[in-house]
């Protein structure tokens, strides 16, 4: 096994140990734990959005509707068929697959429609799902669903988070990932060098929707409550902000975007309404000076980190030598 793989594995296991310890002994405050859970859930959501908006380069706003489907499907499964915490993964899978089916449907218009028109179709889809849920009495209409069993904990969040990263990483390195980037650049050229564009798009939309659906399931089982209002414009905007903040076409960026936005939202809580204004300003400034997001399409790697450590070590060594010489 390669050294970096071993290192990744070690970090992943250490992370899991931390999560188990936290759940068992209350290592960190409940507020902090909730923030970590939100970051993990949002990371999965953003990874899902990034497959479509980042790698494939389609400006989609369907994630709100897809997340609603996943959240509702998983919640209903837990409430009516699977009333035990051990079966929680099954509920999550049901949410993921329900979303995936819808995602595959959305892939079809993307075969022939592009750009702004596709953006409007996906926006329409999200709003349509929201008003459907508002009008179906079986799922509580606009009152929402409750009580959804509180199955989500830090361990589940973490496990799904790690799995999501592994899945997206493998996708990106495969022929499908390569062809998504090719389609983003020049769809006709991609077709003319033998890329099956429809198949690649189906794979992308299906996997993206699955991840978004799982994040919806986790969120509902964390809050024990959900309603159609949670899947409107604010979720559409939040999702897009996190993707473009972190970096389109970057796994590291997805996680960073989710984490930074969560921390911002939490720390700006005391200023009330102003946090939306501050958030907007941050986004505008970022788009002007770093339009590719914080990470662009770069990725974290141990070698990159080692390079940074060595560079900063040199920096401080030089500084030390200079101040030493001045004395």
Partner 1 sequence: MSRETILRFEDVSMRFGGIKAIDGVSFEVEEGRIFGIIGPNGAGKTTIFNVISGVYVPSSGTVSSASLVLNKLPPHRITGALVGRTFQNIRLFDDQTVLDNVKIAQYSKTRYSLADVLVSSPRLRREEERIHEEAMEILGSLGLSDKAESKAGALPYGEQRRVEIARALASRPRILLLDEPAAGMNPSEIDSLNALIVGIRDRFGLTVLLVEHQMRLVMEVCEEILVLNFGKKLALGRPDEIKNDDRVLEAYLGKAHKHE
Task: Assess 107 for contact with partner 1 (CB under 8 A).
Answer: no
Task: Assess 318 for contact with partner 1 (CB under 8 A).
Answer: no
Non-local (6+) Cβ contacts of 154 within 8 A are 19, 22, 23, 33, 36, 37, 40
Q: Which two tokens stand for residue 61?
A: 């706003």
Task: Assess 179 for contact with partner 1 (CB under 8 A).
Answer: yes
Task: Assess 195 for contact with partner 1 (CB under 8 A).
Answer: yes
Task: Assess 170 for contact with partner 1 (CB under 8 A).
Answer: yes
Task: Assess 190 for contact with partner 1 (CB under 8 A).
Answer: yes
> Please, which residue, 266 or 297, has the CB nearer to partner 1?
297
Task: Assess 197 for contact with partner 1 (CB under 8 A).
Answer: yes
272: left (phi over 0), alpha (psi -120 to 50) or beta: left
The answer to whether the beta carbons of residues 242 and 128 sit under 8 Å apart is no
DSSP class per residue in 31-90: HHHHHHHHHHHHHHHHHHHIIIIIII-----THHHHHHHHHHHHHHIIIII--SGGGHHH
> Please, which residue, 134 or 292, has the CB nearer to partner 1?
292
> How far from 125 is each of 74, 102, 106, 177, 242, CA to CA, in Å?
20, 10, 8, 26, 21
Task: Assess 189 for contact with partner 1 (CB under 8 A).
Answer: yes
> Please, which residue, 72 or 210, has the CB nearer to partner 1?
210
Interacting residues with partner 1 between 201 and 240 (CB under 8 A): 203, 207
> Please, which residue, 79 or 162, has the CB nearer to partner 1?
162
> Please, which residue, 84 or 174, has the CB nearer to partner 1?
174
Report the C-alpha gap between 11 and 25 in whole angstroms.
21
Task: Assess 303 for contact with partner 1 (CB under 8 A).
Answer: no
> Please, which residue, 99 or 179, has the CB nearer to partner 1?
179
Report the C-alpha gap between 75 and 57 in whole angstroms.
31
Return the closest-CA partner of residue 251 out of 3, 60, 8.
8
Task: Assess 175 for contact with partner 1 (CB under 8 A).
Answer: yes
Query: Tokens 């002994």 label which residue?
Result: 25
**Residue 210, phi then psi, degrees to nearest 5:** -60, -50
Binding mask 109-138 for partner 1 (x = CB under 8 A): ------------------------------
Task: Assess 186 for contact with partner 1 (CB under 8 A).
Answer: yes
Region from 32-40, 64-72, 179-187, 270-278 binding partner 1, contact rule CB under 8 A: 179-187
Contact positions vs partner 1 (CB under 8 A): 167, 170-171, 174-176, 178-179, 181-182, 185-186, 188-197, 203, 207
């Amino acid at each position: 096994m390669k050294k970096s793989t071993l290192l990744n594995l070690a970090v992943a296991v250490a992370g899991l140990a931390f999560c188990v310890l936290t759940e068992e002994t209350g290592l960190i405050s409940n507020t902090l734990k909730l923030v970590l859970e939100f970051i993990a859930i949002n990371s999965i959501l953003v990874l899902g959005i990034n497959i479509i908006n980042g790698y494939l380069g389609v400006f989609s706003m369907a994630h709100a509707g897809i997340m609603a489907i996943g959240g509702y499907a998983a919640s209903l499964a837990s409430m009516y068929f699977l009333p035990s915490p051990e079966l929680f993964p099954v509920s999550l899978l049901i949410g993921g697959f329900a979303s995936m089916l819808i995602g595959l449907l959305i892939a079809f218009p993307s075969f022939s429609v592009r750009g702004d028109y596709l953006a409007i179709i996906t926006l329409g889809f999200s709003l349509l799902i929201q008003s459907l849920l508002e009008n179906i009495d079986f799922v509580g209409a606009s009152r929402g669903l409750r009580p959804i069993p509180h199955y989500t904990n830090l361990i589940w969040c973490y496990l799904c988070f790690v799995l999501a990263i592994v899945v997206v990483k493998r996708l990106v390195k495969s022929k499908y990932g390569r062809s998504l980037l090719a389609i983003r650049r020049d769809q006709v050229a991609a077709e003319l060098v033998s890329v099956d564009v429809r198949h690649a798009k189906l794979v992308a939309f299906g996997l993206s929707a699955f991840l978004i659906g799982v994040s919806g399931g986790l969120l509902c089982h964390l809050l024990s409550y959900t309603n159609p209002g949670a899947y409107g414009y604010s979720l559409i905007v939040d999702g897009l902000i996190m993707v473009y903040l972190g970096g389109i076409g970057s796994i590291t960026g997805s996680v960073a975007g989710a984490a930074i936005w969560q921390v911002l939202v939490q720390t700006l809580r005391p200023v009330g309404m102003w946090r939306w204004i501050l958030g907007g300003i941050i986004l505008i400034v970022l788009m002007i000076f770093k339009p590719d997001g914080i990470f662009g399409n770069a990725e974290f790697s141990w070698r990159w980190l080692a390079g940074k450590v060595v560079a900063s070590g040199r920096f401080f060594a030089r500084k030390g030598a200079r101040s030493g010489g001045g004395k």
